[in-house]
Structure formats: C-alpha cells, structure tokens
Amino acid sequence: AQKITQTQPGMFVQEKEAVTLDCTYDTSDPSYGLFWYKQPSSGEMIFLIYQGSYDQQNATEGRYSLNFQKARKSANLVISASQLGDSAMYFCAMREYDQGGSEKLVFGKGTKLTVNP
C-alpha cells in the first residue's frame, strides 16, 4: 500500500501567485515526521520544511508553509509568491523509524511544478 500519495503529477502557477501541493499519508504510528524536498532539474534534493506529528502549529520556512491536517492525514505544501526558480519536482516524504534507531524516508511520486512568467 502506498504510504505517501501525491495526486498531482504536474501543477502550473503564475509568477507571484501562491500554490498548494497536495500530500496525504498513511501510518498507524502516533509519532512520525513529514518532510518536503525540492528537486530542480539539476538533480539535487533540497530540504524545504518539516512537520512533526506532535507539533501544535503548522511549520513555516520563509515562503514555504505546511498545511498539516492530522485527522485527514494530509500535509500540503503551500508556496507563497511563486518565483521562476521554484519550478522543480517536489517530493513529500514520511519518516519511519523505530526505537532501535532505524530510520528511512518513504517518498511520494512527486509533483512537477512549473511557474509561468
């Protein structure tokens, strides 16, 4: 079963507008973490924002914010004031770990964002 679902293969937004990238997740663990990464066409993976399952407030990092709705198991990324440089693939990921110290990230299939001038 897919644990991270990104339903938007591609999204388009006009420069300076806001855009929301969807992410839903599936876990039965009470403690988990959710991440968003950006992958430009050059290939590197850039960490954007993190939300812990026990965090009371939605995470924000500059123009990035995370709309975390725990009951709905969604963690949507909101990018405000889009810039041309925001054009990239965006991946939502969930951290799975246990008390033994093992950890891995489970990634969604990604959303390709294109910012139009």
Partner 1 sequence: DSGVTQTPKHLITATGQRVTLRCSPRSGDLSVYWYQQSLDQGLQFLIQYYNGEERAKGNILERFSAQQFPDLHSELNLSSLELGDSALYFCASSVEAGSNQPQHFGDGTRLSIL
Binding residues for partner 1, rule: CB under 8 A, are 33, 35, 37, 43-47, 50, 52, 91, 93, 95, 97, 100-107, 109-110
Q: How far is CA 84 from the centre of its chain?
A: 19
Closer residue to partner 1 in complex, CB, 4/13: 4
Q: Which is nearer to partner 1, 33 or 87 (CB)?
A: 33
Cβ atoms within 10 Å of 103's Cβ, excluding its own = 10
Give the nearer residue to partner 1 in terms of CB position, either 44 or 72. 44
The distance of closest approach from Cβ of residue 96 to partner 1 in the complex, given in angstroms and rounded to an integer, is: 9
Question: What residues contact residue 111 under an 8 Å CB cut-off, 6+ apart?
Answer: 6, 8, 9, 10, 11, 21, 22, 89, 90
Tokens of 63: 């123009």
Shortest separation between residue 117's beta carbon and partner 1, angstroms = 28
DSSP letter (8 states) at residue 56: S
Give 13 or 37: the residue with its C-beta nearer to partner 1.
Answer: 37
For residue 16, the minimal CB distance to partner 1 (Å) is 28
Per-residue tokens: 40: 């430009």
